[in-house]
Chain A
Amino acid sequence: MSTATQVDPATPAGSTKALDQRRPLGDRGFAILALASGLLVLVILVWIAVSTTNQAWPWFTTEGWKIFTNNWNPAANDFGALAFIYGTAVTALIAVILAVPVSVGIAMLLTEVVPRRRAQPIVYVIDLLAVVPSVVWGLWGILVFVPWLNHIYAHIGSAVQGLWILGPLFGPPTSGASFFTCGVILAFMITPIVTSLSREVIATVPAIDKEGAYALGATRWEMITGAVWPHSQGGITGAVLLGLGRAVGETIAVALVIGSSAVITSHLFAPGYNMAAVIANQFGEATGVFRAALFGIGVLLFVFTIIINVLARGVVERSARRKRGA
């Protein structure tokens, strides 16, 4: 601690000037290094936006507003991306609808029902689910899940054919590799993140609110709806949005099980396509405007996920702030 002896003990307590002047070079260097690493995040995000937009420029200029048409035919130089945007929206929505009730249920189970010691194994299982790589879900999906669902979809399809609403949604044509299969696998994949974020939010509910509800004679479920839910609503909305963001950006599992057919259809059991999957599957053979189009879809995907994530983080932070203030 040689710096300690360098400080003039006669320096008045109110002035730190002498101390500042002797700040060694290494100290300042370290501060700059840390700042640079922090700024790196911003640099990378801006760089991603600029470099991919730059690559995608030919698509935007040659197609103009036609990029939002439903006409994807690389052989004829038609690059309308609407079918992929539609596929992304549909699969992500299915995933969120399936995953959210289950995730919030598990989060409630972990925080309000099961005692802490017994909750730990459940947390391990959820973590395990999070560790299974996307490509393994895809491999299992295409080789095991899809062939199995083929028959089930065919049965459901013939049962609801011609029925009001159900017919157009679940009727034929059916295929194991479809929007719905993709949504289900995405649901498995986003469950861990939605669960753990909801759990964090629910854990912040003050014990006094919960005890108050119990003291008034509430059952556990009444306590959850009356004390836990109003408190954690905002945070859970954020968790759901983050899950949505994940589902939108997930690539490899989707590329394997979605069926690779660029159509817009109400039939959920029919093969479809989405933004991430088309980039993964077609980038290898793409050149010229085709490649630019795939880059453009990437830019759109980047913009969508950034918007969803900014919204989600905003919601989470706002609800956290409100809770601290209360």
Chain B
Amino acid sequence: MTAVTGEPQKVDLHEAKGWRRTKNRIMTTLMVTSFVVVLIPLAFVLVTVIGKGASVISWSFLTSSIPPQTSPVGVGGIGPAIVGTIEITAVATVIAVPLGILGAIYLNEYGGKNPLSAFIGFMSDVMTGVPSIIMGLFIFTIWTLHFGLSGFGGALALACLMLPIVIRSSYEILRLVPNSLREGSYALGATKARVTVTVVLPAAIGGIVSGALLAVARAAGETAPLLFTIGAAHMTNRNVFSGANTSLPSLIFTNASSPYAGAEALGWGAALTLIAICFILMIVARLVTARFARYTH
């Protein structure tokens, strides 16, 4: 760093000295520290769950039916909960993802900047903040009270939770699709529906799938919407539409406050399985984004 020449006074281009420099260092250190502060609980939780969960997980653990809470460690497994989680989340996905994508299509392709579309977009963002337990109460009122406990009730509650998330993530991706693609196909005489389905959606599919997967990962880990809607079961219930069901989060919640060592071990095993499922979904979402990212920033 040489000083600027041709000036009567030399301009100092060195890094600031003294207190200014110290303050800068302190604040930078604090920023790094804040990341470390977050790392500690995450590592703590992951190490505990993996440590305690890995020791109980085996093939028979993943497939056997749920034992009574008083059973000793090593008896039974979490098979029905895994099946229940897959069933309920799958049904919720089938309901929420198409509706969410259609909603996003309305917001971006049809509504544009009109007041109704802006209002729906705003309220959809607000709906993301509605507590999941409220979705549980809502579905309890409109479904469970009339049709009884079933996996489908839980799926409806999860779908309510997923809908705004899918709308938001799909909308963000649709916005990135360049207008020239739409104009090109209009110029060929295609109708709006055809343009949307055959040109816009394929261009955005990677981001939409990845957003949907993240919504699924979020829903798979939710307990509160299922508390009052699916009941409890110890055996695998293959029928989503009738009879009480169970899920990994519900099982963990029940067993977390149990005084028995066997139930506790079962809870840790279920927690590891659940975290593994959520992480896999997240990683797949990342891979999809990386593979299909065409119109990202």
Contacts and interface: CB of A to CB of B under 8 A. Distances in A.
Given A30-B196, A298-B133, A37 B32 contact: no
Given A24-B191, A37-B106, A44 B31 contact: no
Contact of A134 (B167, B223, B268): B223
Interface in A1-28: 1, 3-5, 7, 23-24, 26-27
A165 interface: no
A298 B31 contact: no
B192 interface: yes
Interface string A109-133: 1000100000000100111110111
A19 B220 CA distance: 47
A34 interface: yes
B291 interface: no
Interface residues of B, number: 91
A51 interface: yes
Nearest to A51: B141
A144 B267 CA distance: 13
B138 A51 contact: yes
B193 A27 contact: yes
Contact of A131 (B23, B126, B278): B278
Q: Would you call the interface of chain B mostly helix, strand, loop, or mixed?
A: helix
A140 B221 CA distance: 15
Interface string B271-282: 100110011001
A220 interface: yes
A138 interface: yes
Interface residues of A, number: 92
B221 A134 contact: yes
A127 B191 CA distance: 40
Contacts of B221: 131-136
A101 B252 contact: no
A142 to B, nearest CB: 5
B123 A41 contact: yes
A219 B134 contact: no
Contacts of B48: 140, 144
B110 A34 contact: yes
A38 interface: yes
Interface stretch (B2-10, B34-42, B55-63, B64-72): B34-42
B127 A41 contact: yes
Contact of B103 (A41, A255, A317): A41
A144 B275 CA distance: 17
A276 B122 contact: no
Given A3-B189, A106-B34, A222 B20 contact: yes
A27 B191 contact: yes
B125 interface: yes
B253 interface: yes
A152 interface: no
16 contacts: A1-B188, A33-B102, A37-B99, A37-B100, A45-B123, A51-B141, A55-B137, A106-B34, A134-B221, A134-B249, A143-B256, A249-B130, A250-B131, A276-B131, A301-B131, A317-B122
